[in-house]
Amino acid sequence: MTTLEAFHDDIYFGGQWVRSLSGEFTDVIDPATEQVWGRVPSANDADVNAAVTAAHSAFRGSGWSDIGAAARAGFMERFAVELEKRGEELANVVTSENGTPITETRQAAGHAAGLLRYFASLAGYVDQEDIRPFPGRPEQATRVVREPQGVCVLIAPWNFPVALVMVKLAPALIAGCTVVIKPAPETPLDLRVLIAAAEAAGIPAGVINLVTGGREAAGTLLQHPLVAKVAFTGSTAAGKMIAEQCGRLLRPVTLELGGKSASLILPDADLSLFSSVLNRTCLRNTGQTCYNSTRVLAHRSIYDEVVSVVASTVAGTVQGDPFDPATVFGPSASARQRDTVEGYIQIGKDEGARVVAGGGGRPAHLDRGFFVTPTVFANVTNDMRIAQEEIFGPVLVVIPFDDENEAVRLANDSSYGLGGSIFSADTERAMALARRIETGSVGINFYGSNQAAPFGGWKDSGIGVEYGPEGVSAYLKLKSIHHYV
């Protein structure tokens, strides 16, 4: 349970905390206690303009884009150290904001620091200039150089508010961009810790700027004429609106959106292994993770056994106070999200699916908080809404298949294409199946992102990728300079 209090009236731009001009505020609510413990400004157009202008001035005037990626990498290494110093503070704030269990949020600072160090290691890639001869004209060549996009708007969600900022911020910094960050209204306070770490690391004023608020602030940011690039993680519905606005402005955009990923359980799968990684692969962060494999596709020969394993694993997992290190499932992040999850559980019952664990409602041992009892449905068909629509909560469906071709068809029968997993004792067989799944990433006998490899969605799960050198490329633009040798 949080004992924090954080009531603020300022936003951050040009290296300073400045009182917001809006006079309107957003409350921060602890989802485990339903208590208001913080407040931040809801930025207006003037606030947003000040932040973007500061970022633009820093891009043009501070030398950040001119000092070279190797020098920027030095700042990023110091930034990583300062973040790690604030790891426990950061964990406490995030858990109080969104209810993510403390064992998860205690990894946030280290993960963010790792991202800073990884992208700092790509300085040579950013600074490298390619010399390409003209075909058939040896006396002429082209020098291909990489330059930063400019001012980037980074819009992050509430489920992993530090990591999903840093996966945008770190590549933007090494590329030489300056940024304006707008966090989700539910999770605005953790970024104040991040700003403190950036200041202690000596990041120049105006390179990182922060505005808080809702859709109005986001809309102003998206349309600001000084913005050169947008990166967004969130729902597919919001992502489509952002893509439309960026399209009209011919503004580059990276979108990491929703998912309804499938986990294929083949007849030779080790079900004890599957059980041991089920919560991480299928229900990470109380089901509030975009790539979760929330559709479990089980071969009919082992269907009943898989249903039993999934139900017993989920029912036996600790749910409760997110500050208790034993807790794996916390609350939904907000009352609205709780209501959404409860609505889908009722939809599943109405569709005729069979509840084999949970069934919704707040657990009997908890007297407050936005908790939903983790729920597993069996006898599910892939055309049910609970199998097609993203629920973003602790709900799993188990669907049978008869052969591998049907498993692939069911996995691909989705408007989404973000993650997925395959469990089999035959790695080569699983690898062949993974190549047939229409999704941006697939794990074999586990699921986990690799910061050195691209992560992004297909279909309604997004545009572009994050992580890896490909993630840096999104913050760079190319220039070809033709010359005589």
Length of the chain: 485
CATH placement of domain 262-450: 3.40.309.10
What whole-number distance in Å separates Cα of residue 485 and Cα of residue 402? 64
pLDDT at 164: 98
Place of tokens 């908890």: 366
Q: Alpha carbon of 28 to those of 5, 9, 34, 90, 431: distances in Å?
A: 10, 13, 10, 15, 44
pLDDT at 2 over 90: no
pLDDT at 4: 81
In this prediction, residues 166-182 reach a mean pLDDT of 98
Place of tokens 């209501």: 339
Q: How confident is the model at residue 471 (pLDDT cuts 50, 70, 90)?
A: very high
Domain ranges in the chain?
A: 6-257+462-484, 262-450
Residue type, 280: R
What whole-number distance in Å separates Cα of residue 96 and Cα of residue 99? 6
What count of other Cβ atoms lies within 10 Å of the Cβ of residue 448? 12
102 CB burial (10 A radius; 0-12, 13-18, 19+)? buried
Mean pLDDT score of the chain, rounded to an integer?
Answer: 97
223 CB burial (10 A radius; 0-12, 13-18, 19+)? middle
What whole-number distance in Å separates Cα of residue 226 and Cα of residue 49? 9
Task: Report the candidate in 441, 472, 417 with the shortest Cα–Cα distance to residue 254.
Answer: 472
pLDDT at 224: 97
What whole-number distance in Å separates Cα of residue 406 and Cα of residue 400? 9
Quick one: tokens of 25?
């505020």
Tell me the per-residue pLDDT of 26-69, one tens digit each, with 9 for 90 and over. Answer: 999 999 999 999 999 999 999 999 999 999 999 987 789 999 99
What whole-number distance in Å separates Cα of residue 480 and Cα of residue 274? 50
pLDDT at 478: 97
Helical packing angle, 190-200 and 87-98, nearest 10°: 160
Quick one: tokens of 161?
């508010």
Tell me the three state secondary structure of residue 93. Answer: helix
Per DSSP, what are the bridge partners of residue 6? 38
- Put the strands of the sheet holding 6-7 in their side by side order: 6-7, 35-41, 25-30
Tell me the per-residue pLDDT of 291-328, one tens digit each, with 9 for 90 and over. Answer: 999 999 999 999 999 999 999 999 999 999 999 999 99
CATH topology of domain 6-257+462-484: Aldehyde Dehydrogenase; Chain A, domain 1 (3.40.605)
Alpha-carbon torsion, ordered 102, 106, 107, 110, to 10 deg: 170
Q: Element (H or E) spanning 421, and its range?
A: strand 421-423
Tell me the three state secondary structure of residue 466. Answer: strand
Inter-residue contact 98 to 105 (CB < 8 Å): no
Quick one: tokens of 31?
């989802």
**CA count, 13 A, side-chain hemisphere, 3:** 0
Q: Percent of the chain beyond pLDDT 70?
A: 99
What whole-number distance in Å separates Cα of residue 76 and Cα of residue 198? 9
**CA count, 13 A, side-chain hemisphere, 328:** 18
Task: Report the candidate in 329, 333, 361, 332 with the shortest Cα–Cα distance to residue 345.
Answer: 361
So which residues are the catalytic ones? Answer: 256, 290
pLDDT at 387 over 90: yes
pLDDT at 3: 66
Q: What does the DSSP 8-state code read for residue 268?
A: T
Residues 6+ apart with CB under 8 A from 208: 12, 169, 178, 179, 181, 195, 198
Q: How confident is the model at residue 350 (pLDDT cuts 50, 70, 90)?
A: very high
pTM equals 0.96
pLDDT at 1 over 70: no
Q: In whole angstroms, how large is the CA radius of gyration of the chain? A: 23
Quick one: tokens of 426?
């035959």
